[in-house]
Structure 1
Amino acid sequence: MVGVLANLGAAGGAAVITVTFIHPIDTVKTRMQVSGTKGARNYSELGLIGTISTVGREEGIGAFWKGIPAAWMREASYTSFRLGLYKPLKVAFGADKPDSPFIMKFLAGGASGGLGSIVGNPFDILKTKMMAAEGAGVGLVQTTTEIYKNSGILGFYRGIDANILRAIVNNGTKMACYDTSKNAIKKYVGLKEGVALQGAASFVAGFFMTCTVAPFDICRTRLMNQPADKPKIYKTIFDTFFKIAYNEGPLALWKGFIPMWARIAPTTTLQLLLFEQFTKLLGIKAV
């Protein structure tokens, strides 16, 4: 139990530090993902550079850190679980050996991610709404009050189905690819345990994560960003998948892919590097 708690603490600390630096990329990605929805500017037409330029010029540099308090709370809850529970669940799934099947590592990562998404969903809602808000934006307390007033407690669990599925795919891919590529790099490239090995394995995991999780991510963003006081455009994750693909084309499911990759690759690398270093200081093995 002490080891599990130490893992959770190390994971949460690594995640909060990481998101502070990566949050501006997440804001740009979110703006591009909500493009095409009713009342939202079409940032996809502006492209990555155009979106960054427009947001910076019209809303100021601080706009790139909109929603950062909610992001800190989200990482302290969600990521604590999805990283901190991976090793215990990997042992429970019998996937703690270097030659364990990839699918078992995926299932262990998916299970820890799914549990984490349930805990972190309210903060995910808050973060998404705050990042997507154009102009002056609104604060954490005002956003929380508005959601509760219009939708009650259930408003904080809007998009929970999409979030759980996204988290299962996200964390399953991330942890299984990280674990597998780390062992492969050790074996075939000859890198020893250390920052170089962790960084290389994290970069590989980040690429595959972006490919698999992008459609789930945009559906989650659309579901969570719907106005609380107006009729819903999207009902479930499957409804969202269909409507985006039908109305905007199948490739729209990967809208915001470049900023998402630009966010995931360094996030995964820095997060896992910090996590492994923190657990090393605590005298426990992380992954």
Structure 2
Amino acid sequence: MPEPKRRETITPTPSSSHPDRYVPNALKFAFGGAAGMMATCIVQPLDLIKTRMQLAGMGKSSVAVTSEIVAMEGFMALYNGLSAGLLRQATYGTTRLGVFNYLFDSYKERNQGVAPGFVQKTMLGTVSGGIGAFIGTPTEVVLIRMTADGRLPERQRRNYSSVFEALSRIVKEEGVLKLWRGAAPTVFRAMVVNAAQLSTYTQAREMMLVSISDGILLHFSASMVAGLVTAIASLPVDIAKTKIQNAAKGQSQMSVITNLIQNEGVLSLWKGFLPYYARLGPHTVLTFIFLEQMNAAYFRSE
């Protein structure tokens, strides 16, 4: 009986001792989303701190913002918006991985089995990130609002109890199109993130493999390099997106961005860089580690 066709993914295979074994496409989607969700459970406080810093304006450090949240709202407030973060990974995270793998395989089929190079992978990452972000924008809007709610005056807080209640209330109170508020910067950010992250990770991993054996240390090191490059490139877009999605009714997207630069300066586009990078790097490496462990468990169960 002929061997099944092996499909490559953006992640390294879990074991070089099984070069002819692969994870079915349906499980690639499931494993990718699950890995992202598990990583989110760990780094959610960093995401909340990053969002609060972006909305707070100039003058507050990450330590000051964290201390203020714990003192005024309690330690568990650091996990506000977790349900939205998990649903975001279940939509955006799963979609970008599945679309990337589909496009990757299609490229190989059209080119007689030749895998895409660095430039092609960057383009595939850009397309898959954009598609995933458009699908995941509603959960992104809810995530921003839930993580920002605690800094608002009490009478202005939305007090969403869960991501599903938030989605329902936004549709009822503001209209379904508000779920895609800030879709353009969200999609653009995802395209930048995926183009930088996937291509840089692959390149860094290949270069480091010369001196570091394949394993968790290699994945961690390559992911942190990719996270740094991605953070520098995508943080200005992320800040603009956050401001737009949390803006009051009636404010145009352009006025939000213009006011930000005029009032806080160009460098405000990189405000909250440390918590942003601190979240992006660990989230990337944790996602890879969890994904590889699930892949390995699948192979052991065969």
Report the counterpart of residue 182 of structure 1 in structure 2.
205
Count of residues in Structure 1 that have an aligned counterpart in Structure 2: 268
Distance 2:74 2:198 in 1: 36
Q: Distance in 2 between matches of 1:142 and 1:277?
A: 33
Summarize the alignment of residues 40-79 of structure 1 with structure 2, pairs less than 5 Å apart: 44-79=58-93
- State the secondary structure of the residue aligned to 1:46: coil
CA RMSD of aligned residues (A): 2.3
Aligned match of 2:182: 159
Q: Does 1:275 align with 2:291?
A: yes
Q: 1:4 aligns with which of 25, 28, 47?
A: 25
Find 2:37's aligned residue among 16, 29, 34. Answer: 16
What SS does the aligned partner of 1:282 have? helix
Is the 8 Å Cα contact of residues 247 and 256 (structure 2) preserved in structure 1? no
1:96-175 residue pairs with structure 2 within 5 A?
Answer: 101-134=117-150, 137-140=159-162, 141-175=164-198
Structure 1 residue matching 2:253: 3-state secondary structure? coil
8 Å contact from structure 1 (residues 93, 104) kept in 2: no
Shift of 1:270: 0.5
> Is 1:235 aligned with 2:262?
no
1:202-221 alignment runs, 5 A limit: 202-221=223-242
> In the alignment, does 2:36 pair up with 1:31?
no
- The share of aligned pairs that are identical, in percent, is 28
Shift, 1:97, TM fit: 6.5
> Which residue does 1:200 correspond to in 2?
221
Distance between the aligned counterparts of 2:256 and 2:298, measured in 1?
43
The answer to whether the Cα contact below 8 Å between 1:6 and 1:282 also exists between their aligned partners in 2 is no
Shift in Å, 1:93: 4.3
Corresponding residue number in structure 1 for 2:20: none
Q: 1:10, 1:84 within 8 Å by CA — same for their partners in 2? A: no
CA distance in 1, matches of 2:114, 2:40: 31
Task: List per-residue Cα deviations over 1:2-55 (Å, max 9, x = no partner).
Answer: 83222111111101111011000100100111124xxxxxxx422111100001
Q: Distance in 2 between matches of 1:53 and 1:198?
A: 32
Query: Partner letter of residue 249 of structure 1?
Result: G
Partner of 2:263: 247
Extract unaligned runs of 5+ from structure 2: 1-6, 8-22
Aligned to 1:41: none
Amino acid at match of 1:175: L
Q: Classify 1:97/1:29 alpha carbon distance in 2 versus 1 (closer, same or farther; 3 Å).
A: farther
Q: Distance in 2 between matches of 1:240 and 1:102?
A: 36
Structure 1 contact 81–115 (Cα < 8 Å) conserved? yes
Structure label with greater radius of gyration: 2
Cα contact 2:35–2:291 (8 A) shared by 1: yes
CA distance in 1, matches of 2:281, 2:161: 29
Provide, for residues 175-214 of structure 1, a one-character-per-residue CA deviation record: whole Å limited to 9, x for no partner: 111111111112x32x333222222211111111111110
Task: Measure, in 2, the Cα distance between the counterparts of 1:124 and 1:257.
Answer: 19
| Alpha-carbon offset, residue 142 of structure 1 | 4.5
Q: Distance in 1 between matches of 2:37 and 2:168?
A: 24
Shift of 1:241: 4.1
Work out the CA distance in 1 between the residues paired with 2:26 and 2:107.
Answer: 19
- For 1:29 and 1:156, the matched residues in 2 are separated by 22
Q: State the alpha-carbon separation in 1 of the partners of residues 257 and 208 from structure 2.
A: 36
Distance 2:295 2:198 in 1: 16
Contact 2:35–2:290 (8 Å) recurs in 1 = yes
- TM-score scaled by structure 2? 0.82
So what's the TM-score if we normalise by structure 1? 0.86
